[in-house]
Amino acid sequence: MGSDEDTSAPRHNPGARGTTLRSSLFQQVKRNPGLIPLIGLIGLGLSTAALYLLRLAIYSPDVSWDRKNNPEPWNKLSPTDQYKFMAVCTDYKSLKKDRPDF
């Protein structure tokens, strides 16, 4: 419509064929190098969250992966087992057994 529009130069379309998320991310990092710490911290947070979920899935007594052989894994814990991530003021080694054996 207007004569001052330049249609000969191709424009970058992020949804165009041939562009991937990785290539568009690299282009954004080239244009804005301040994104590097942000991307690094987001990656660190995601990997930390994934490792924490993996730790919960493996070591938590509330999770039962084998219901035939170990249907209630919380009953096999002794009072000296520390299954919390961090115990602030409890010394688990000095606790005495106050539960019956099952």
Dihedrals phi, psi of 21, to nearest 5 degrees? -65, -40
Retrieve residue 24's tokens.
């568009």
pLDDT, tens digit (0-9, with 9 covering 90-100), for 26-72: 899 899 999 999 999 999 999 999 999 998 888 877 777 877 887 78
Within a domain: residue 9? no
Instruction: Assess whether 52 and 76 both reside in one domain.
Output: no
- Domain interval for residue 69: 62-102
Residues 67 and 51 in one domain: no
Helix (H/G/I), strand (E/B), else coil: 81: coil
- What is the CA angle 36-45-88, rounded to 5? 140
Rounded distance between C-alpha atoms, residue 37 and residue 66, angstroms: 42
80 and 91: one domain?
A: yes
| 23 Cβ neighbours under 8 A, 6+ residues apart | none
pTM over 0.75: no
Q: Is residue 1 part of a domain?
A: no
- Give the number of domains in the chain: 2
Tokens representing 81 are 């087992």
